[in-house]
Chain A
Amino acid sequence: MSYSNRGFHGKTAMVTAMALLLFPAGVVAQGTAAPAKAARSTSSAPAEKGERWLHVRVICAEGKGDTVRVNVPLELAEKVLPAVNHDRLHNGKVRIDSSDVDDVDLRALMDAIRTAKEGEYVTVQGNDNDVRVAKEGNQLTVHVLDKSGSKKSQVEVKIPMKVMEALLSAGKDELDLVAALHALGAQGDMELVSLKDSENTVKVWLDSKNVAN
C-alpha cells in the first residue's frame, strides 16, 4: 500500500465510520419520531376517531371583538379530574351541601324527570322573561329569554339525560363529574350551552374535532 493510498483509505475509513455512527442516530431519531408523527395529526386536522372534544367559545361584541377559545378533549378531562383534590372536588366528585340546593332532593327530582314522558314541563311567558323547560329527544332543554331592559339576552342549555343520570350516580350529596364526562363522550355532536346578548356570545359544544371553527 503506497503512502498516498494509505491516506486515502484512512480518510475513507474515517468517513465511513462517521457515516455509520451518524446513521443509527438518524434511524433512532426517525424511528422514534415517525410513529409519533403518524399518531399525531396537525392542529388543523380532525382529531383521531373516537376522540370527543368539548369546545368553549366566548366572543365579546364590544371593542375589537375579544375572544376566548378553549378546546378540551373529554378523555383528558376524565383522566385529570380525579387527580384534583381541592376544596369540594375530590376524586372527580363534587360534594354539595344540602344548603346549596335549598333542601331540594336532586336525586328524587332527577328520577322524576327521567321517568316522566317527553314534553314541555314549564312554560312561562312574562313581560320580562320567557322560560321554557322541556324534555325532548332524551335531553332536558332549558330556554330563557330575558326581555327586561334594553339588552335582551337568550340562554339555552341542553343536558342529555344520560349525562344527568351519570352526574347524580355518585353517593348522596355528591356529583360525579368524571362519570358525567364519560357519559357526555358517548353523545353525538351537540350544542350544550348557548348564550347571546348584546355584549357577548357564549357557546359550549361537543364534537370530534380538535379545532373550534
Chain B
Amino acid sequence: MKGSLRVRARLLGLIAARDFWAIVETKSFLIGLLAFIFIASVMPIMMVLGRVPSTYKIAVLDPIGGYTEDLRARVRPAQMQFTEFRPPTNVDAPRRTTQQPASTGELPTDLGDTLGEAAKSIPRGGVPEATADELLARVRANEYYALVEIKRGPAGEQTFTMNSVSMADFVPRNMLHNMLNSIILYRRAEAMGITEKQVDALVSPARIETRKITQTSTERADSEKDYAIAFLFPIALVFSLYGLISFQSERLLTALLEEKMKRLIEVLLTRVTIYELLLGKMLGVLYVGFLLYAGVSLLVILGSFVFGVSYLLNVKHFFFFTLFYISGYMLYACFYAAIGAACGNPKDAENLSMPLRMVLMMPIMLSVYVVSHPQTAGSYFFAFFPLTAPFVMINRMIVNDTPWWELMLALGCVGFAAAIGLWASARVFAASMVNPGRSMGLREIWISITGRASV
C-alpha cells in the first residue's frame, strides 16, 4: 500500500476525525461536557455568593470586663469589630460576689482558677447591658456575626462560647480561639508576676528562613502558606493528568476492541497501514482529550482566581504539562492498543489491562514522596523512567524549578518509549489478525513482539 505523504496524512486525519466524532457525538460525552460547564459556571457564582463578610462584627458578653479591649488589640478593625456588653446587674451580681476571690490582690494557688481579672481594675461605665438571649436575637437578625459569651466554669476556669447562626467559619473561629488563648496566657502570666515581655520572649518562635539556592542566585523562598499550596498543587495536577490519560486510553481500548470484534479492523487494514490506523485512532481520542483538557484548564484558571492562588499559574508549567500530557497519553495509549489487539472480548481486555492500571496509579502514590523529596535519586529515577516520567516530572517541575534540559530529556525518554510501544502494538495487531475472535496469551504476545512469529 503506497501513496504520497499527503495521501497517507489524509487517511490518518480521516480515521482521527471519525474517532473524534464517534466519541463527541455520544450523549454520555455531552453530559460529561455539560458537567464541566456547570462546574466552571459555579466558580464565578462562588466568587460572588461565597465571599466572606469583609468585617466580622462580634458581640462580647463579658461579665468581668477587659477581654474586649484585649481582643481589639490583637486584630485589625477591618477584620473583626468587637462590641462589649455586660449582663444586667441583677443577673450578674450573685456571680460577682461569689466568684471574685482574686479581687483581693492575692495570687491564685491554682492556675486553672487563674482568671486574671484580679490583676485588672476595669472601669465598666458606658458598657451597655444586655442578656444573652437579647444578644442571640440580634445575631439571628444578622446584626452580629457571632456572640462570644464569657463564663466561669465549675472549677472557676474561664470558658468561652461562640454562638453564630450557622456553624462558625473556620477562619474567624480559629482567630478567636487563638486570641482568647493568648489573652488568658498573658493574664495568667501577669497574675504570676511574669511580665508581658518575658512572656513574649518565651513564646516567640525561632526565626527560621528558607532560601532557594540556584546556580546563579539566592532568593528568599515562599511563605509557609505558599509551601502548603505548592505541596498540594502538583499533586492535584498529577491527579488531573491521571484522569485524562486513563480516560482516553480506556476509550481507545474500547474503540479498538469494538472494531476488532466486528472485524472492521480487517476492512480498515486493507485500506490503511497498521501504523496509520493506530496513530489515527490515538489522535482522534487525543482531540477528545484536548476538549477535556480545555475544560480542566478553564477550571484550574477559574479556581486559582477564586481561591486566590492565581500566582501559581505559570506559562512554563502550562507548556510542559501539555507536552507531558500528550507524550504520556501516547505512551499509555500504545499499551492499551496492544491489549486491544491481543484480546478478543471485553472481559479479557479488562483482566489484561489491570496491571497497566496499577502502573498508571503508581505515580499518584509517588507524588507525595516526590513533592517532599524532589532531589533524591529515587525522584530522579522516576522522573526519567518513561512510565512515570510525565507525572513525576510535573511534580518536580513545580516544587523544584527543574532545569529545561531535564524536562526535555524526560520528554525524549517518554517519546522514545511511545515510539517503541507503537511498534510493539503494531506487531501484536499483525499477529492478532490470524484469529481475530480469540484472545492471545501472554506468551503469544511476547512472541509476536519479539518477532519469532511468522506473521
Do the two chains belong together in a single complex? no
Chain B: residues with CB nearer than 8 A to chain A? none
